[in-house]
């Protein structure tokens, strides 16, 4: 068991509130349009990550894609685009998110598909500042006090127009590119089970799967973050979890026997049952 020292916490998530850290990140990150080339591509990602776990080499995965038509696609250009996107999003990991070996190990475990998608969702947000901005700056505030709302094109375009004030590169996007990017983003929300099926634009607060939550939590602890930093992390904003929601997930983890959690006023004690993410993957989810 890994014991983490007691920390003093106060309002340790920013979901639905002013998020200066997130705003600063968006202001200093250039927006690129490459997401619209392949979108979220969850099915292809799961296939390639499972192959990576089996073969242990991205070069071997690349060979399987082209020589064995692993993805069952006819377009070589599309296969190149998907390989580049997935390598960029997952290969090396983006601290505090775990590296490619660990996310590939997670997706081969016998957990619900939605748990795997919710873990991949964090990497997509982490690798694209505009996606992160839309999730934490547009959708999360709307879901602060309600369970669902309609994400109209007007709301979406108003947000992008405001972002363009500090991101002049958005002004260079042709209308066709901007339109395709919006369609790709809405498709991404639907495949993430955040938006209802087309033609609906109803956005609903998703139910966060405990396996995905624990994967992200253990990844943050492995990266050296303190308990306070983990519980205050902006990563929970992407799951639309406020401080109460984070504590609910910790309580569920305690019932599962994966951790011990106690709160006395502003003092929180957290003890994990496994010394590392890899230990949790093997011990809790099975070898």
Per-residue pLDDT tens digits for 6-36? 443 433 445 555 554 555 455 557 898 889 8
Token representation of residue 222: 């492995």
CB 52 within 8 A of CB 190: no
Q: Which residues of 101-132 are buried (b: 16+ CB within 10 A; e: fewer)?
A: bbbbbbbbbebeebbbbbbbbbbbbbbbbbbb
Give per-residue pLDDT as tens, 45-72: 999 999 999 998 999 999 999 999 999 8
Domains of the chain, CATH where assigned? 2-17+207-285 (1.10.10)
Q: Rounded mean pLDDT of 259-285?
A: 92
């Amino acid at each position: 068991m890994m014991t983490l020292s007691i920390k003093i916490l106060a309002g340790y998530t920013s979901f639905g509130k002013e998020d200066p850290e997130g705003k600063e990140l968006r202001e200093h990150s250039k927006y690129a349009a490459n997401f619209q080339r392949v979108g979220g591509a969850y099915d292809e990602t799961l296939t390639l990550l499972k192959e990576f776990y089996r073969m242990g080499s991205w070069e071997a995965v690349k060979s399987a894609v082209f020589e064995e038509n692993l993805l069952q696609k006819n377009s070589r250009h599309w296969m190149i685009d998907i390989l580049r996107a997935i390598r960029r999003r997952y290969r090396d990991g983006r601290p505090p998110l775990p590296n490619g070996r660990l996310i590939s190990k997670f997706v081969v475990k016998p957990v619900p598909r939605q748990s795997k998608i919710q873990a991949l969702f964090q990497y997509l947000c982490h690798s694209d500042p505009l996606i992160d901005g839309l999730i934490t700056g547009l959708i999360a505030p709307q879901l602060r006090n309600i369970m669902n709302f309609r994400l109209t094109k007007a709301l979406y375009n108003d947000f992008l127009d405001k972002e363009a004030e500090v991101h002049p590169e958005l002004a260079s996007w042709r209308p066709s590119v901007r339109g395709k990017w919006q369609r790709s983003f809405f498709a991404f929300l639907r495949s993430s089970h955040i938006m209802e099926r087309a033609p609906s634009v109803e956005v609903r607060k998703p139910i966060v799967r405990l396996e995905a939550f624990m994967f992200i939590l253990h990844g943050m602890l492995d990266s050296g973050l303190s308990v306070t930093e983990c519980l205050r992390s902006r990563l929970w904003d992407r799951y639309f979890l406020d401080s109460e929601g984070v504590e609910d997930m910790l309580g569920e983890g305690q019932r599962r026997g994966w951790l011990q959690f106690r709160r006395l006023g502003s003092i929180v004690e957290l003890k994990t049952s496994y010394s590392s993410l890899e230990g949790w993957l093997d011990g809790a989810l099975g070898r």
